[in-house]
A and B are shown apart, each in its own frame.
Chain A
C-alpha cells in the first residue's frame, strides 16, 4: 500500500521569504502525486499534480514542486510567500489507474508579517 509522510506539521515563514514544504512517499508501484491547499473553514483545492513528464511541476498561486524518484520526494516550493498563503497544505498520492487518493497529515504554513 502507498503512504505519504509530511514531516513538518507547522512551518512559520516571514513574508516574502522562500518556503519549502516537504513530502515523501512510499509505494511499490508507480504513483501520481498531488499537493492540495486548505484555507481556513474551506475544503481542499488542488494546487498542482505530477502525472508524468517533466519532474518540475508548476501550479497555481506561484507554487511549484519537483518529483524526485530516487529520493521518493515531492517537495513544494514558493520563492516568495504572501500573507494570503497562510493555509494547510496536503501532499497526496494515487496509484496509477486508481482514483483513490492517500493524503499526508498536512503542514500548516504560517506567514509572519
Chain B
C-alpha cells in the first residue's frame, strides 16, 4: 500500500521566492492535514480539509501561506513570498472518517524546507 506521498523531500530556496509543497494522500482517505514542525514550536496544525473542503485554517500563520485541495488525490501548500522563519519540516497527513479511523492519522515523510 502506498502511504502519504510528499514532494519534494528537501527544498532550499532564497527568501522572497515562491515555494510549493505537494501531497498525495492515501487513496480513500477523505481528511487531509498540513503540519509544520520546528524546534521552537514543535508540531503545529496549519490547516485541514474534509472531502477537499478546508475545514479549519486557523493555524495558517499569515496571508503568505495558502493551501488548496483541487481533488481527492492532491493538495498543495504554497508560501509566497517565503521568509527565513518559514524554514521547517512540513508534514502532510491523511485519515479516514473518524468513525472508521478512530483518529489514526497517516503521515508522509515530510518536506524539509530551508529559506536562505
Q: Can you list 26 contacts pairing A with B, beta carbon distance less than 8 Å?
A: A34-B103, A41-B109, A42-B110, A43-B93, A43-B107, A43-B108, A43-B110, A44-B43, A44-B91, A44-B93, A44-B105, A45-B107, A49-B104, A51-B102, A51-B103, A90-B43, A99-B95, A99-B98, A99-B103, A100-B45, A100-B48, A101-B103, A102-B45, A103-B42, A104-B42, A106-B42
Give the complex CA separation of A104 and B109 in angstroms. Answer: 19
A2 located at the interface, meaning its Cβ lies under 8 Å from any Cβ of chain B in the complex? no
B43 touching A103 by the CB < 8 A rule?
Answer: yes
Report the tally of A-B residue pairs with Cβ distances under 8 A: 48
CB closest residue in chain B, given A94: B103
Interface residues of A in 62-113 (CB under 8 A from B): 90, 94, 97, 99-106
Question: Which residues of the other chain, B, contact A42 by a CB distance below 8 angstroms?
Answer: 109-110
Count of chain A residues with a beta carbon within 8 Å of a chain B beta carbon: 21
Question: Which residues of the other chain, B, contact A44 by a CB distance below 8 angstroms?
Answer: 43, 91, 93, 105, 107
Count of chain B residues with a beta carbon within 8 Å of a chain A beta carbon: 20
Interface residues of A, Cβ cutoff 8 Å to B: 32, 34, 41-46, 49, 51, 90, 94, 97, 99-106
Question: Which residues of the other chain, B, contact A103 by a CB distance below 8 angstroms?
Answer: 42-43
Per-residue CB contact flags for chain B residues 76-116 toward chain A (1 = under 8 Å, else 0) read 00000000000000010101001000111101111000000
A32 touching B103 by the CB < 8 A rule?
Answer: yes
Please give me the 6 A-B residue pairs with the lowest Cβ-Cβ distance, nearest first. A43-B107, A103-B43, A105-B42, A44-B107, A46-B104, A43-B109
